[in-house]
Chain A
Amino acid sequence: MNIFKLSFSYLKKSPLNTGLNILLLALGIATITTLLLFNHQFRNNLVQNAEGIDLVVGAKGSPIQLILSSIYHIDSPTGNISLGEVQSIINNPMVAQAIPLALGDNYQGYRIVGTERSYLALYEANIEKGEFWKYSKEIVAGANVANKLQLSLGDTIVSSHGVMEAGQAHEDEPLIIVGILEETNSVLDQLLLTSVESVWDVHEHDEEHEEEHDDHDHEEGDEHDHDHDEHEEEHAKHKLEVSTEPFGFITNENLNKELTSLLIVYNSPLAGAMFPRFVNDQTDMQAAAPGFEITRLLSLLGIGFDVLEVFGFILILASMLGIFIALYNAMKERKYDLAVMRTLGGSRIVLMSQILLEGILLVLSGSLLGILFAHLGIAYLSGTYQQAEQFNINAWVILPEELIILNGAVILGILSALVPAIIAYRTPISTTLSKES
């Protein structure tokens, strides 16, 4: 027997009370910890994914939508921009580098992005297996996509139209996996990358195909076989080499094609003051600066976070109050126990420590349970929502702040057990025993 066992026995004696207090505290701690983990990783990933990108240029619309769709690959793109307009941007002397993005298709919910090698360089991504694409309809898969969908080199996939799952399938346009990227902990992990030409080819062919189909309906069935042969020839013909030069896909016959957006790196910081205005005023496109939009987004979300945080603190305070009341009330019936323990030779300090220990045990188990809840909750959320996956929210990261929460909780536990402990310290032996005896 020792005071630890004694405290534990008292807690065990009133399981409902103990359980409720622990649960209430756990909920409060879980709320705060979840926010902490989510907020931390969310902010980090927002910032990290936008690192190195000074500006995003795309079709007019909501700037946040443009940023969300072009950098983080959530939300729908704002529209398309013509190659003519693209040229006016990439030729501007204030632009050091531009990365083209052609969106519009997905494979099982993972977005297919038509781009160039420079997009990989932006996130310092290397190819782990296979090689970079040389031909149209070749795909380099992000680490997480490859892992989740069990893709390996040489696999063919059929993309669907749209950036969300379950669009119309491009059944006649299989794409082949030629490379798989290393894990980068960036948005690239969640993407399927290909050449801009490839995205065009898939769509162009699709349109032709649809027209063919329409024609076909009016013609007789005996021409069907012939049609099919033609298809195969076309397939072979479509193994087209793609340009390796930056914006090499801009050729005279392609001038009617479109891109979704451009990620821009400035030549000098001064461009930040002038270039966005140029884009917004002089062209039909819009420019959105990631830094500014992220700040705006976080301040919008911040209100929600703050409300939840206050809610979490209220839960914690309520549970501390609950622990205080439980211990304080228990003192009334425990007075006899305390007096008896004094007669058995227990010193005041021992009895006081025992009550404090009870408070600490309660708080510690509540806090640890709460932190566990938070991690399990995030693991569940990040497994359920692809948006969470997109942000690389990792459930099993332990932040130093969690230790601070734990310490803070223990201090609060000691505080809420302090008054009951002082009552224990002061319990007069004889008068307590004489009452009602």
Chain B
Amino acid sequence: MQFLNLKHRYENSEYTISYPDFTLNEKEHLLIIGGSGSGKTTLLHILGGLLKPTQGEVFIDGTSMYSMSESGLDRFRRNHIGIVFQRIHLISALTVIENLALAQYLSKQPKNKPLLQDLLSELGIAEKAKKYPNELSFGESQRVGIARAVINKPSILFADEPTSNLDDKNSDKVLKLLQDQAEKNDASLIIATHDERIKRHYNNVLNLDNEVIPVGNG
């Protein structure tokens, strides 16, 4: 993945955020760090195919993402992108297992309930399958969110502030889950966070407050 000359300005906003150019190789992970308002969620949305930047291009596997049509982009997200949101956003009208089944349906994969059950077991929430989102703790919802993001076997897994509501122990657990799932799917993991605790784990850190700082082994 490569992004070049990215700039974005929101409507009704005076600021234009400029992003440094960056190239991420296949299966490599990236940490995007920045304080609030530094534009990390915006960058995540741009990279995830949710927001067309005002300027600049994003290439994945050599294809320019935003030169695709709306339906092409839908298809692209379906096949390549998985996102874990900061506020998980599970569908409250559906149970845990139905939320996963919906993701499977929307990404046009064959119906496969055992696979969903396995995934839930893997994440340690198998017994929550029939629960509704409002019956879950934040940690449980987050795991469902992770499960939902990897159902389509994405090539890039995004996570927006995955550790912001967690203590050290749990934040390590979640990072481990995300990394495991990324590796299992041969996917790149891109995390946007303001949480400096995470930094030591990653080779590639894009600091939006300063610049790209390549760090040695972590």
Residue interface mask A283-302, B partner, CB < 8 A = 1: 00000000000000000000
* A433 CB contact (under 8 Å) in B89, B91, B107: B89
Cβ contact within 8 Å between B98 and A1: yes
Residue of A nearest to B148 (CB): A344
Residue of A nearest to B93 (CB): A13
* B91 CB contact (under 8 Å) in A337, A347, A430: A337
Cβ contact within 8 Å between A336 and B89: yes
Chain A residue numbers with a CB within 8 Å of B152 are 344-345
Give the docked Cα–Cα distance between A73 and B45 (Å): 80
The distance from the CB of B92 to the nearest CB of chain A, in whole angstroms, is: 7
Cβ contact within 8 Å between A433 and B45: yes
Give the docked Cα–Cα distance between A345 and B107 (Å): 5
Does B197 interact with chain A (Cβ within 8 Å)? no
Chain B residue numbers with a CB within 8 Å of A1 are 98, 101-102, 104-105, 111
Give the docked Cα–Cα distance between A344 and B27 (Å): 21
The distance from the CB of A4 to the nearest CB of chain B, in whole angstroms, is: 11
Instruction: Tell me the count of chain B residues lying within 8 A, CB to CB, of chain A.
Output: 35
Cβ contact within 8 Å between A344 and B98: no
Cβ contact within 8 Å between B93 and A348: no
Does A12 interact with chain B (Cβ within 8 Å)? yes
Residue of B nearest to A429 (CB): B50
- Contact stretch, chosen from B16-24, B55-63, B68-76, B199-207: B68-76
- Contact stretch, chosen from B79-87, B121-129, B172-180, B188-196: B79-87
Does B6 interact with chain A (Cβ within 8 Å)? no
Chain B residue numbers with a CB within 8 Å of A339 are 89
Interface centre among B86, B105, B152 (most CB of A within 10 A): B105
Cβ contact within 8 Å between A337 and B106: no
Instruction: Tell me the count of chain A residues lying within 8 A, CB to CB, of chain B.
Output: 27
Does B103 interact with chain A (Cβ within 8 Å)? yes
The distance from the CB of B143 to the nearest CB of chain A, in whole angstroms, is: 16
Chain B residue numbers with a CB within 8 Å of A430 are 42, 45, 50-51
Does A437 interact with chain B (Cβ within 8 Å)? yes
Q: Tell me which residues from 421 to 437 in chain A have a Cβ below 8 Å from any Cβ of chain B.
A: 429-431, 433-434, 437
* A340 CB contact (under 8 Å) in B45, B89, B101: B89
The distance from the CB of B178 to the nearest CB of chain A, in whole angstroms, is: 17
Chain B residue numbers with a CB within 8 Å of A10 are 93
Does A6 interact with chain B (Cβ within 8 Å)? yes
Give the docked Cα–Cα distance between A6 and B103 (Å): 12
Chain A residue numbers with a CB within 8 Å of B86 are 437
Give the docked Cα–Cα distance between A342 and B91 (Å): 12
Chain A residue numbers with a CB within 8 Å of B42 are 430, 434
Cβ contact within 8 Å between B81 and A2: no
Chain A residue numbers with a CB within 8 Å of B92 are 13, 337
Residue of A nearest to B75 (CB): A345
Give the docked Cα–Cα distance between A347 and B78 (Å): 10
Residue of A nearest to B71 (CB): A347
Give the docked Cα–Cα distance between A301 and B71 (Å): 59
Cβ contact within 8 Å between B93 and A343: no
Does B41 interact with chain A (Cβ within 8 Å)? yes
Residue of A nearest to B76 (CB): A345
Chain B residue numbers with a CB within 8 Å of A350 are 106
Cβ contact within 8 Å between A437 and B85: yes
The distance from the CB of B86 to the nearest CB of chain A, in whole angstroms, is: 6
- Known A1-B98, A1-B101, A433-B50; judge A344-B93 contact (CB<8 A): no
- Known A12-B93, A429-B51; judge A6-B102 contact (CB<8 A): yes
Q: Tell me which residues from 1 to 15 in chain A have a Cβ below 8 Å from any Cβ of chain B.
A: 1-2, 5-6, 9-10, 12-13
Give the docked Cα–Cα distance between A147 and B48 (Å): 76
Does B29 interact with chain A (Cβ within 8 Å)? no
The distance from the CB of A425 to the nearest CB of chain B, in whole angstroms, is: 11
* B74 CB contact (under 8 Å) in A337, A342, A431: A342
Does B30 interact with chain A (Cβ within 8 Å)? no
Does A408 interact with chain B (Cβ within 8 Å)? no
Give the docked Cα–Cα distance between A437 and B83 (Å): 14
The distance from the CB of A212 to the nearest CB of chain B, in whole angstroms, is: 84
Does B1 interact with chain A (Cβ within 8 Å)? no
Supplied contacts A344-B152, A429-B45, A433-B89, 13 more A-B pairs, CB within 8 Å: A9-B94, A13-B92, A337-B93, A340-B85, A345-B78, A345-B107, A345-B152, A347-B74, A348-B70, A429-B51, A430-B42, A437-B85, A437-B86
A-B contact pairs, 21 of them (CB 8 A): A1-B101, A1-B105, A2-B105, A6-B94, A9-B93, A9-B94, A13-B93, A337-B91, A337-B93, A342-B74, A343-B50, A343-B83, A344-B102, A344-B103, A344-B107, A344-B148, A345-B106, A345-B107, A345-B152, A350-B106, A434-B45
Q: Which 8 A-B pairs have the closest CB atoms?
A: A345-B78, A430-B51, A1-B101, A13-B93, A346-B106, A345-B107, A1-B105, A430-B45
